[in-house]
Amino acid sequence: MAAMLQSFGVASASVAASDHSIKLPAFAGHSLAVIRSEARSISSPIRGTRKTGKVATKAVAAQAANPASAASKPGHELLLFEALREGMEEEMDRDPRVCVMGEDVGHYGGSYKVTKGLAEKYGDLRVLDTPIAENSFTGMAIGAAMTGLRPIVEGMNMGFLLLAFNQISDNCGMLHYTSGGQFTIPTVIRGPGGVGRQLGAEHSQRLESYFQSIPGIQMVACSTPYNAKGLMKAAIRSENPVVLFEHVLLYNLKERIPDEEYVLSLEEAEMVRPGEHVTILTYSRMRYHVMQAAKTLVNKGYDPEVIDIRSLKPFDLYTIGNSVKKTHRVLIVEECMRTGGIGASLTAAINENFHDYLDAPIVCLSSQDVPTPYAGTLEEWTVVQPPQIVAAVEQLCQ
């Protein structure tokens, strides 16, 4: 089989990858066809990126890729939303049960272009444009998942999924339990959330704080193109319902990611910058504010350890714990609000589990408990800014 693939002119590295990656679902009888299309899908985004070049930015200019997360082998460069798309496309090629549904995901290509081109490739039923009815199309996705399909539900903005809270909580999270294990709900619910550029209060919500108590779901937040693609693939392959939190301002980050296939762990945190003096735990957009603050801190002589927790439910207490045992000081920087956010739960979890290792109380920097205002300056003051992070570390390390 390898010889036949090589005759198609596919690069040998990709062959080695694609050969193993085809875990055959029972009905993917045409394994050759799958391999061919997978090779195509890996190469086409490269061509796509070169063609499109500068993409119309929604909110923020491209930031430098984080060196800690780039692969050691040369790969291909792309933007975060393209990485998400690549992950989805590879999974849709691999498993015919994977489908996408959401508002404007099909013909329009997705309001943040995450699903661009997928409807042309897979058809209107598989990449479904739904009417504006979050409650029922989320319910529909869950019903489809009960029969074995693997839908990806896109909330155009995470805030809209509040309309579907009942479906996500009762039917997505709890159905596996209340049916005594008869039904699994392998859905992925994804969408952009977080504070953007003056989008207003209703479009700047952080749903991770509302969803975190729902039993039965897993929550992950991506922050770089590398982990976006890996987490997307992992979420699709997981048998549990996963909520994947993207951020409106991170879609245009550029990074070089490997050509080979990779899947990240849904429950692992990412070590962004190892250090000695203080553990800074963060996720999503705040990671970049932390790294900016880290530059200042390094100049001032501090050595912060930065961990992107990535997995919001459950927390990766293994990685976090090891870090706390090393540095004895913890700073949490999050975008959730002070009350009832991820930081609040994380503070409680660390205090309970690692109290003996702490030299100082945990400091949690969160957004203010206010609706996000429209005015730019006010909006800036609601979220944590790098100078505040620097000040907090200095305070903590006294």
Partner 1 sequence: MAQIIHRSTNLLKPVSVAVSATRHLTTASTTPITVETSLPFTGHNIEPPSRSVETTPQELLSFFRDMVLMRRMEIAADSLYKAKLIRGFCHLYDGQEAVAVGMEAAITKKDCIITAYRDHCIFLGRGGTLMDAFAELMGRKDGCSKGKGGSMHFYKKESGFYGGHGIVGAQVPLGIGLAFAQKYCKDENVTFSMYGDGAANQGQLFEALNMAALWDLPAILVCENNHYGMGTAEWRAAKSPSYYKRGDYVPGLKVDGMDAFAVKQACKFAKEHALKNGPIILEMDTYRYHGHSMSDPGSTYRTRDEISGVRQERDPIERIRKLILSHDLATEKELKDTEKEMRKEVDDVIAKAKESPLPDSSELFTNVYVKGFGVEAFGADRKELRAVLP
Residues with active-site annotation: 134, 203
Q: Which stretch binds partner 1 (CB under 8 A): 86-94, 197-205, 253-261, 384-392?
A: 253-261
Could you say whether residue 46 binds partner 1 (CB under 8 A)? no
Length of the chain: 398
Q: Which member of 76, 94, 176, 285 binds partner 1 (CB under 8 A)?
A: 176
**CA angle at 79 for the pair 77 and 85, rounded to the nearest 5°:** 105
φ and ψ at residue 209, rounded to 5 degrees? -70, -30
Could you say whether residue 135 binds partner 1 (CB under 8 A)? yes
Closest CB 164 distance from partner 1, rounded Å: 9
Task: State whether the Cα torsion 385-386-387-388 is positive or negative.
Answer: positive
Could you say whether residue 312 binds partner 1 (CB under 8 A)? no
Q: How far apart are CA 355 and CA 56, in angstroms?
A: 48
| Neighbour count for residue 309 (Cβ, 10 Å) | 25
Burial of residue 376 (number of CB atoms within 10 Å: 0-12, 13-18, 19+): exposed
Task: State whether the Cα torsion 309-312-313-317 is positive or negative.
Answer: positive
Closest CB 223 distance from partner 1, rounded Å: 17
Q: How far is CA 70 from CA 20, 108, 110, 185, 268, in A?
A: 23, 31, 27, 32, 17
Q: How far apart are CA 156 and CA 160, in angstroms?
A: 7
Say how far residue 289 (Cα) sits from the centre of its chain: 17
Q: Which stretch binds partner 1 (CB under 8 A): 82-90, 146-154, 334-342, 366-374?
A: 146-154
Closest CB 292 distance from partner 1, rounded Å: 28
Q: Which member of 41, 43, 44, 136 binds partner 1 (CB under 8 A)?
A: 136
Cβ proximity to partner 1: between 12 and 265 the closer is: 265
Could you say whether residue 107 binds partner 1 (CB under 8 A)? no
Return the residues of window 344-363 that contact partner 1 according to CB under 8 A: none
Cβ proximity to partner 1: between 128 and 392 the closer is: 128
Size of the site for partner 1 (CB under 8 A): 63
Cβ proximity to partner 1: between 117 and 216 the closer is: 216
| Neighbour count for residue 341 (Cβ, 10 Å) | 23
Binding site for partner 1 (CB under 8 A): 16-17, 20-21, 71, 73, 75, 99, 125-126, 128, 130-131, 133, 135-149, 166-167, 170-171, 176-184, 215-216, 218, 230, 234, 237-240, 258, 260-268, 316, 318
